[in-house]
Amino acid sequence: MRVGCPKEIKNHEYRVGLTPGSVREYVAHGHEVLVETGAGAGIGADDNAYRAAGAQIAKTAEEVFTRSDMIVKVKEPQPKEWAQLREGQILYTYLHLAPDPEQTKGLLASGVTAVAYETVTDERGGLPLLAPMSEVAGRLAIQAGATALQKAYGGRGVLLGGVPGVLPGKVAVIGGGVVGLHAARMAAGLGADVSIIDRSIPRLRQLDDLFAGRVHTRYSTVEALEEECFSADLIIGAVLIPGAAAPKLVSREMLSGMKKGAVLVDVAIDQGGCFETSHATTHADPTYEVDGIIHYCVANMPGAVPVTSAHALNNATLQYGLALADRGLKALADEPHLRNGLNVHRGRITSRPVAEALGYEMTEAKSALAA
Ligand SMILES: NC(=O)C1=CN([C@@H]2O[C@H](COP(=O)(O)OP(=O)(O)OC[C@H]3O[C@@H](n4cnc5c(N)ncnc54)[C@H](O)[C@@H]3O)[C@@H](O)[C@H]2O)C=CC1
Ligand SMILES: CC(=O)C(=O)O
Ligand SMILES: [Mg+2]
């Protein structure tokens, strides 16, 4: 198969779908790899590093899209990109379709076979291709939130760790999955007073064991959310219902009960966000204010630390990507966890949460592949 890797074009996105190390693995499996010139610049990998790994260098993205059987990316295709996809081609990347009707229309019209990193599953019920970026985003959420809390950035002027004689800042983490765990770890490490709110009691038990009393855990009810949000300096939105639009857990009305200058970091923004007042922002202009509350809603947070993120992402995507390149659609037919990643195939939606969120008919992935 010819595997293509274009340069990412989303705002301040510096990750790359294939590192030179991954290219070597695809080439060792007998595949040709075509990488757009400059695709690895953000991680310090120049065209020569890709050539040394066995890739050919394409002068343009158009050449990559036209000549490749499978496209490996990081972020969801942008309008210019989805127009270049075609039937018979596999797209392997993050998609986040549930809150994105325009992209969904574009992918359906193209006929492409689109495998979303964020809905591939593993045997332990996890999301192995989302997890590494959730680890990064969870950790970054505290850095971003701590910065936004500084007065000059519009925040209330609280140092998360406090100092001897002055109480630390309060952090409420809504959703105690991968993002929530890593955010809580960083916040606790800084010395903040941290609460994690989740609706899974088994998960709250695990977190309680893990942090050994260092963070508080709370079951997710409206009352608990209000109490935690009204007393917090920094609130991290980290809930997920896999593949679906994020539930809106914090209403606009609730903002009036919060401390002026408190900061909301909505990591779940890539699935539409879990605060009613969230809208996606970019690294170029990451925050805005609503009713005195600072919002940070960057949908590609890991793009800010591409050296760490691109390698962590490639570690996770490589084995599934090789399965797709080696066996094409047969890999999807044979492997249920990889098949859970299939969101769109030849003009049909094959993900139930996406179909439900956007009002499409859903075709079971197995029957779509067999058709
Ligand atoms: N903005 C960005 O750059 C990035 C965003 N993300 C996003 O962050 C979000 C979280 O991802 P993960 O932590 O990997 O998911 P996860 O599945 O590991 O954790 C989600 C948690 O939310 C909990 N939850 C669901 N409904 C809830 C409710 N009503 N109240 C409280 N808790 C609830 C679940 O029980 C689970 O523990 C996803 O939308 C993901 O796509 C991830 C990486 C980067
Ligand atoms: C998960 C995601 O949206 C990202 O890494 O950008
Ligand atoms: Mg998006």
CATH number at residue 36: 3.40.50.720
Is residue 357 in a domain? yes
Is residue 279 in a domain? yes
pLDDT computed for residue 371 by the predictor: 87
Provide the annotated binding site for substrate: 15, 75
27 and 109 inside one domain: yes
* Residue in 21, 325, 299 with CA at minimum distance from that of residue 133: 299
268 and 190 inside one domain: yes
Is residue 349 in a domain? yes
293 and 185 inside one domain: yes
Domain stop point among 248, 272, 299 = 299
16 and 36 inside one domain: yes
Per-residue pLDDT of the chain (371 residues; tens, 9 = 90+): 999 999 999 999 999 999 999 999 999 999 999 999 999 999 999 999 999 999 999 999 999 999 999 999 999 999 999 999 999 999 999 999 999 999 999 999 999 999 999 999 999 999 999 999 999 999 999 999 999 999 999 999 999 999 999 999 999 999 999 999 999 999 999 999 999 999 999 999 999 999 999 999 999 999 999 999 999 999 999 999 999 999 999 999 999 999 999 999 999 999 999 999 999 999 999 999 999 999 999 999 999 999 999 999 999 999 999 999 999 999 999 999 999 999 999 999 999 999 999 999 999 999 999 98
Q: What is the spatial distance between Cα 257 and Cα 235, in angstroms, rounded to a whole number?
A: 13
Ligand 2 center–CA 266 separation, angstroms:
13
Domain stop point among 299, 325, 345 = 299
pLDDT computed for residue 109 by the predictor: 98
| pTM greater than 0.90 | yes
* Residue in 224, 223, 247, 227 with CA at minimum distance from that of residue 237: 247
213 and 114 inside one domain: no
Q: Which domain holds residue 270?
A: 131-299
Is residue 126 in a domain? no
Ligand 3 center–CA 280 separation, angstroms:
8
Pocket of ligand 1, beta carbon within 6 A: 118, 130, 133-134, 137, 174-180, 197-200, 203, 220, 238-241, 246-247, 249, 267-271, 299-302
Here the tokens at position 304 are 């800010």
Assembly ipTM = 0.97
Residue 109 vs residues 102, 234, 349, 356, 367: alpha-carbon distances, Å: 11, 42, 11, 19, 19
Atom of ligand 1 nearest to the CA of 247: 29
Domain stop point among 299, 316, 334 = 299
Is residue 124 in a domain? no
Candidates 97, 129, 134: which one to mutate for ligand 1, based on the most atoms within 8 Å of Cβ?
134
Atom of ligand 2 nearest to the CA of 300: 6
148 and 293 inside one domain: yes
Candidates 103, 127, 133: which one to mutate for ligand 2, based on the most atoms within 8 Å of Cβ?
133
Q: Which residues form the catalytic set?
A: 96, 270
Range 366-369 contact pairs with CB under 8 angstroms and sequence separation of 24 or more:
366/333, 366/339, 368/342, 369/329, 369/332, 369/333, 369/339, 369/342, 369/345
Q: What is the spatial distance between Cα 284 and Cα 279, in angstroms, rounded to a whole number?
A: 15
